[in-house]
Copies of this chain bind each other. A is one copy, B any other.
Amino acid sequence: MRVSRCFLPVLKESPSDAQIVSHKLMLQAGLVRQTAAGIYAWLPIGFRVLKKIEQIVREEQDRAGAQEMLMPTIQSADLWRESGRYDAYGPEMLRITDRHKREMLYGPTNEEMLTALFRDDVNSYRDLPRTLYHIQWKFRDEVRPRFGVMRGREFLMKDAYSFDLDEAGARLSYYTQLLAYLRTFQRLGIQAVPMKAASGPIGGDLSHEFIVLAPTGESEVFYDAAFEEFDWAQGGLDYGDEAGLHGLFDRVSSTYAATDETHDEARWAEVPEARRRTGRGIEVGHIFYFGDKYSAAMGLKVSGQDGKPLTPMMGSYGIGVSRLVGAIIEASHDDKGIVWPAAVAPWQVGLVTMRGDDAASITAADDIYAKLTAAGVETLYDDRDERGGVKLGTQDLIGLPWQLIVGPRGLAAGTVELKNRKTGDKEELSIDSALTKLTS
């Protein structure tokens, strides 16, 4: 993509009205703009990051055997009366009356809707187990939206729902999602510690939050340093390996990690002092097992193998996709700007001409751009006739993994400069060597 043809507005100054670093950087680097309190438009660069995260979440859900679908944003209030949550949910639910005076709402979550869909179409034990998910915008009318997309009102969530014939099956579905989450966060390039959690308004008795450590986190966290050496991707573990999934769950459960809500001083005291880690964290995922809470309330039944009706056991599994954009920045930035993990970077390479009015630089950079693009390397090419220093500052701010800098002096000697954004390391090398390095 050529910057001269992009809608890529960058602010000269760090916005003073943003309180946390991710919010400041998302505004300054032109990822988002607020269009109403707690509601954001995703500009092209932010949109690209959002889509990358979404795609990794999707691939890991698919790999774990969950099937994608898409439920609407607007729901009928009657659906929520069936579960008893319509009145219980409180003012965070955006309630809407349509032109025919029907009570509707903007879905904050989808347990009711999917339970109803299942109830209408699934009849037999042979149709279970199933885990379905969707990635859809939700709305929670926060009383005081803040911290940008970290605590917005309209937000993108992946929510999955599992249906099983019995508790043993449902627990296995839960462990499967637990493993999928560990793999998802690892691929995103962040560490998210699973912590036993209170289940809140979703209900149920088994729940974990996934917490990214960051000084601006909303909750205090306590965890065993063992998580720092944890194999997050769980290398050889297969989704079909029942014993392995149980073993993973036992290991997570027996390694201390808790938020201030669930912190247990007695168990904490058992963790050797040198291994106690505390800090603040941001919730980026939350999974729940809640048995027959919704299936029983809403009359979802299937006929069992013996012909008798059975009430499926359920769980639900959320990842805050839009929130993750902020959380990743909180965990990965420096004083110059964002430092994207490669997996979610909007482009892999920022190509910059130091002199936008130098014909030799333009010819060389055009050629490099064509070659990188042809090789499938996502490249943002800053081809503007703008001061080199300004362009480099923008590059540091938007945080692509690599910067490839083309200047008249280097070109005269046959070289370009390749800079690693994360380490800051720079090397002078021939154009061919640079291309080889970036395309291999």
Q: Complex: how many Å from CA A337 to CA B366?
A: 51
Assembled-state Cα–Cα distance A106/B94 (Å):
12
**What B residues does A43 contact at CB under 8 A?**
69, 117
Question: Which listed residue (B50, B72, B73, B127) contacts A70, Cβ 8 A?
Answer: B50
Number of A interface residues in the complex (CB < 8 A) = 59
- Does A370 sit at the interface, judged by CB under 8 A? no
- In the complex, the 3 A-B pairs of residues with the closest C-beta atoms, listed nearest first: A9-B121, A42-B70, A36-B76
A73 in complex: contacting residue of B6, B46, B137, CB < 8 Å: B137
Q: Which residues of B contact A268 (CB under 8 A)?
A: none
Considering the complex, which residues of chain A in the window 94-127 have a beta carbon less than 8 Å from any beta carbon of chain B?
94, 96, 98-100, 102, 104, 106, 113, 116-117, 120-122, 126-127
Q: Which of B47, B75, B127 contacts A36 (CB 8 A)?
A: B75
Residue in B closest to A4 when the chains form the complex, CB atoms: B126
Q: Which residues of B contact A106 (CB under 8 A)?
A: 74, 96, 106
Q: A46: which B residues are within 8 A, CB to CB? A: 69
Among residues of B, the one whose C-beta sits closest to the C-beta of A110 is: B41
Task: Say yes or no: B68 contacts A44, CB within 8 Å.
Answer: yes
- The residue among A39, A69, A120, A130 with the most chain B CB atoms within 10 A of its own CB is A69
A154 within 8 A of B: yes
Interchain CA distance A288-B71 in the complex, whole Å = 30
The docked-state distance in angstroms from the alpha carbon of A75 to that of B34 is 11
Q: A7-B132, A67-B7, A104-B36 are in contact. Are A117 and B72 (CB under 8 A)?
A: no
